[in-house]
Structure 1
Amino acid sequence: MKKLILTALVGYALAVPALAQDSKNFLYLFSDSIIYAQKVQLRPDFSGYWQFRADSRRVPISQVKFFNNEDGFFANTRRFSLAGESQFSERIVAGKINLFQERPYDPEAFHRPYHYGMERDRLQIAALSMYYNKGFGDLKRVRYRNLMKDMADHPQSMQFLKDYRKSSQLSKIISVTAGAAIIAGVATLLTGGYSESSFTNSSILMGGGIVLATGGYLIHLSGKKNIEKAITNYNK
């Protein structure tokens, strides 16, 4: 019995440092090294350039691949930027596959006091660009072909991906039709000499184009949810 208790105590003593380390905030660098800290902040330096502060240590943002702090877990998406600018997108699904949504990290917005009952997430509009990875691997764009390769071993996730592809294709068709209707409406107005009939026909075409464009956008948003469902089911 004493040996059993002693073994348990030793196991607990060995586990505590690991648990404490996991609970800390950290910077994961492109060099694959990790800087643990009690507090990780993104702050401007004296020149006005952004840098990370991991306790007393200062780290250029260009060196940071991922970071975790009280606001969440974020990934650097600079390789997807034409200018190579470092921006950090938030992880919205964690697991065997991590899903990130493009919403540039703004520490001021995360700590801004609420006003008029608005929640923090309503203060920023999320973009449609989404990325994913496994572990601390490089980010990939959320694309049908990419995910099909990484989820080939999970039938249910594959079905959600197929649903996403269908809605994406439908959205593109509707968007192209909407653009054609709007262009036709403008052309009708210009060629009709701004007469009453041309104005009426143009309004109908342009109005229909706007309705179609809105519908295509909503279908696109709905399709995006299937991506999250596919990843969530894969992570179960």
Structure 2
Amino acid sequence: MQQRVLKLKAQQQIAPNTFELILSGDVAALAYQPGQFVMLQIPNTAHLLRRPFGIVTIEADRLHLIYCTVGVGTKLLSQCRSGQLLSVFGPLGNGFPTAFLKPKQEVLLIAGGIGVAPLLGLLKRLVAHGIVVTIIFGVKTKAALFYQLELESLAKVYYTTEDGTFGFHGNVNSLIEAKLAQAHYQAIYGCGPAGLLQMIARRYQNHPHVYCAVERPLACGIGECYACVVPALQQNDYYKVCEDGPVFSKEQVVF
């Protein structure tokens, strides 16, 4: 993990309350694994705590992030313009395990809303190693979708919307039941709301390779404050999302 001051290269709104942030600087040498995150300092404010942002990709000298505006800090960040200097600490946490996969094997990625962010980086890494990928992208409504062209250029994509405005009308579980119930995958990867991760763990409870990135509010990002703990599945204990995660297997935690 390292601290760097990066320059805001570009920022755009890609869906309601959802922004893509592209930072430029000395990031090419960072040892990044899909699923990791960074802690970003909100500029020109009294907010002392950094905010966690899942990494979409690190490519050449560009760090790509996606975030939702959920409070004062992220609203202020959405108003930053090109050229703004931002302090970034990371990458932090662990990434999605992939070393056991072999070329031409098939995997399933399941994304809920902004949970597609870390899965895009994983998707690119898998395809580069010859893995065949299917991805499910579930949202409430068509307006919440983004990155469709990029996803479709790399994988077979199924979309679900709760209101039926695009793709399959229903939730992710209903789509799997209707279209992918008999499909077999070497690994299952997920990221999204807690309910989605719980569904993944239940549906694939007998699968040996199920890994999900957990979303929790983080304060320190380095395991010191214990603000982001999740209960362990097999023992009376807790895991810290920032240090032990954010990626966990279904055998580790209660999603």
TM-score interval for Structure 1 and Structure 2 normalised by the shorter chain: under 0.3
In the superposition, the TM-score normalised over structure 1's length comes to 0.25
In the superposition, the TM-score normalised over structure 2's length comes to 0.24
Higher relative contact order (CA 8 A, sep 6+): 2
Structure number having the greater strand percentage: 2
Q: Which has the larger radius of gyration?
A: 1
